C-alpha cells in the first residue's frame, strides 16, 4: 500500500475532512506553497531524523527551520542528523519531499513544533511530491495527540 493510500485510509476511517490537490512535482516548501496557492506558513514540513540510533519524525511550519541544539535537548540525545534519501524511502516508502506529517502510519515517533498550532489549517505533501492535502490543524492535533514542543527558528 502506498503512503498516499495509507494516509487517505487513515483520514477517511477517522472522518477527517480534507482538501486534495494534484500539482506539478515539488521539492521545496516554497515550491509546494506556490503549487497549492497557500501561504508557506500553513505548510507542514515532515522531517525524518536519525536521533542517536532511532528514527523520529519532526513536523514544523514550512516557514521555519529546525533548531537542532534545542531539539537535541528536548529528545535527550547526543547525535542528530537528517535521514538520507534511502533511509526515508526505507522508513516511509516516500521520496524526499513527499513525506506526510503522520509518523503513526510509518511507526515513527512524532514530535510537533509549536509553529504548527498557529494556523487554522495545515497543508502538506501526501506521500508523493505531486499530491497535497489540507486539513484543519485542530483535527490533526486531536487525531494524533502529538507531543508539542518548541524547536524551530
Residue spans of the domains in the chain: they are 3-149
Return phi, psi of residue 144, to 5°: -95, -20
Under 8 Å CB-to-CB from 96, ≥6 apart: which residues?
A: 27, 85, 88
Q: Averaged over 2-11, what is the pLDDT?
A: 96
**Confidence (pTM):** 0.95
Q: What is the pLDDT of residues 30-57, one digit of tens each?
A: 999 999 999 999 999 999 999 999 999 9
**Chain mean pLDDT for the chain:** 96
Q: How far apart are the C-alpha atoms of 18 and 7, rounded to whole Å?
A: 11
The Cα-based distances of 58 to 10, 42, 49, 100 in angstroms read 19, 15, 7, 11
Residue 85 pLDDT grade (very low, low, confident, very high; cuts 50, 70, 90): very high
Contacts 24+ apart (CB under 8 A), 118-121: 118/41, 118/61, 119/41, 119/42, 119/61, 121/38, 121/42
Q: Is residue 10 helix, strand or coil?
A: helix
Residue 27 has pLDDT above 90, yes or no: no
Q: How far apart are the C-alpha atoms of 119 and 142, rounded to whole Å?
A: 15
Residue 13 has pLDDT above 90, yes or no: yes
pLDDT of the residue at 131: 97
Residue 1 has pLDDT above 90, yes or no: no
Q: Averaged over 62-77, what is the pLDDT?
A: 97
Q: Is 134 within 8 Å of 33 (Cβ atoms)?
A: no
pLDDT of the residue at 29: 92
Cell of 153: 527558528
Q: Averaged over 59-85, what is the pLDDT?
A: 97
Q: Is residue 146 helix, strand or coil?
A: coil
Q: Averaged over 90-99, what is the pLDDT?
A: 94
The CATH number of the structural domain formed by 3-149 is 3.90.960.10
pLDDT of the residue at 94: 95
Amino acid at each position: 500500500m502506498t503512503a498516499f493510500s495509507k494516509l487517505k485510509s487513515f483520514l477517511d476511517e477517522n472522518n477527517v475532512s480534507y482538501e486534495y490537490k494534484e500539482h506539478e512535482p515539488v521539492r521545496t516548501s516554497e515550491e509546494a506553497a506556490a503549487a497549492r496557492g497557500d501561504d508557506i506558513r500553513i505548510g507542514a514540513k515532515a522531517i525524518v531524523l536519525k536521533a542517536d540510533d532511532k528514527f523520529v519524525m519532526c513536523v514544523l511550519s514550512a516557514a521555519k527551520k529546525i533548531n537542532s541544539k534545542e531539539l537535541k535537548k528536548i529528545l535527550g540525545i547526543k547525535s542528530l542528523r537528517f535521514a538520507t534519501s534511502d533511509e526515508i524511502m526505507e522508513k516511509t516508502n516516500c521520496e524526499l519531499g513527499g513525506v506526510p506529517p503522520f509518523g503513526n502510519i510509518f511507526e515513527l515517533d512524532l514530535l510537533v513544533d509549536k509553529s504548527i498550532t498557529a494556523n487554522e489549517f495545515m497543508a502538506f505533501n501526501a506521500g508523493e511530491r505531486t499530491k497535497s492535502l489540507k486539513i484543519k490543524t485542530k483535527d490533526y492535533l486531536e487525531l494524533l495527540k502529538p507531543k508539542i514542543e518548541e524547536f524551530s527558528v
